Structure 1
Amino acid sequence: MKQSQKGKGSKQVISFSAIGIMNALVDIGALNLLMLLFPTDDRIQLISYNTIAYTLAITNSYFWNAKLTFPSKAIHDRKQIVLFIVQAVIALAVSNLVFYGALYLFDLEWISIANYIERNIAKGLAMFLSSASSFFMMKHIVFPRTHRSPGQERSR
């Protein structure tokens, strides 16, 4: 791999990570706000909160990743938007499965900590795994390497 390609990949990871931190704040902030405003112990209700929080974060993610992480590959055509939605649904499924699984494990009471902390640990695990899957899907499916002619190049 050429040095410039390595540098570009590193910049993508750094940009994606910085945007990921912003998305994490949106995601976990929305989840905690919903849990504060509408307290519940029902796992299905918590999954709906997770879905709302994740949807807000993934919308934020598309906007910033298209602008900063993959700007030369973001063409915003119907195909790319559909692929983004498909990857978002898959990443949401990963998020909800991990979140639900972690909540289930905490309900086994193998360790006793406050529900609030358990839910935030579950959310952290869900965010990490769904973000990793989202990055690879966006890099290789949604914003794949394209070969444009010089006249098609977008300005930043």
Structure 2
Amino acid sequence: MRFVNDNLFRFVKFGLVGVLNTAINWIIFILLNSLGIYYIISNIIAYTLSTINSYMWNSKWVFKYEGKNIKETTFKFIILNVIGLILNTCILYVLVDILGLSKIIGLIIATAIVMVLNYFINKLWVFSKVK
């Protein structure tokens, strides 16, 4: 039962960090886009800045990573988030330019999809404990 509680608590903390990161991402995206910066560029900048915030909170608070190989973990995190950025941007492009959704609705959908994938890959690969 403790395993379930620990994982549920970790998922809730990941969700809280996700809310913070999402707020950072969306505020920067909306600000840059309102300044006339192309929405794809706005997305890349906003995603990158929120990813830095995400690493700090997830490594120290959510997953409490204490592994000996911090360089490997950082590298994995960067790889995951570069892939996440590419996926997020592609989904956003398809939703906005091909399906005709608004930029904000597209951003919400893309964020939701990538967030779920990010949680499981962070847990299982990036911040996994070496036994």
Alignment RMSD (CA, Å) = 1.5
Structure 2 partner of 1:136: 120
**Which has more helix, going by share of residues?**
2
- How far is the alpha carbon of 1:75 from its aligned partner? 5.0
* TM-score normalised by length of structure 1: 0.78
Structure 1 partner of 2:77: 84
Any gaps of 5 or more consecutive residues in structure 2?
none
Distance 1:72 1:86, change over 3 A: closer
Taking the aligned partners of 1:138 and 1:80, their CA distance within structure 2 comes to 10
Contact 1:66/1:74 (<8 A) preserved = no
Taking the aligned partners of 1:99 and 1:15, their CA distance within structure 2 comes to 26
2:97 counterpart of 1:99: no
Structure 2 partner of 1:126: 110
Taking the aligned partners of 2:41 and 2:54, their CA distance within structure 1 comes to 20
Structure 2 partner of 1:52: 45
Distance 1:53 1:123, change over 3 A: same
Post-superposition Cα deviations, 1:23-51, rounded to whole Å, max 9, x if no partner, equal 01000000000011125xxxxx3111101
Q: Give the partner amino acid of 1:78.
A: K
Aligned residues: 130
Contact 1:94/1:129 (<8 A) preserved = no
Taking the aligned partners of 2:13 and 2:72, their CA distance within structure 1 comes to 24
Any gaps of 5 or more consecutive residues in structure 1?
40-44, 108-117, 148-156
Contact 1:83/1:142 (<8 A) preserved = yes
| Greater mean alpha carbon deviation, residues 65-74 or residues 138-147 | 65-74
Distance 1:37 1:14, change over 3 A: same
Structure 2 partner of 1:115: none
| Greater mean alpha carbon deviation, residues 11-20 or residues 129-138 | 129-138
- Identity over aligned residues, as a percent? 25
Taking the aligned partners of 2:13 and 2:88, their CA distance within structure 1 comes to 21
* TM-score normalised by length of structure 2: 0.92
Taking the aligned partners of 1:70 and 1:130, their CA distance within structure 2 comes to 18
Contact 1:73/1:146 (<8 A) preserved = no
SS in 2 for 1:106: coil
Distance 1:18 1:144, change over 3 A: same
Distance 1:38 1:51, change over 3 A: same
Taking the aligned partners of 1:26 and 1:74, their CA distance within structure 2 comes to 28
Q: Give the partner amino acid of 2:119.
A: F
Taking the aligned partners of 1:21 and 1:138, their CA distance within structure 2 comes to 16
Q: Which has the larger radius of gyration?
A: 1
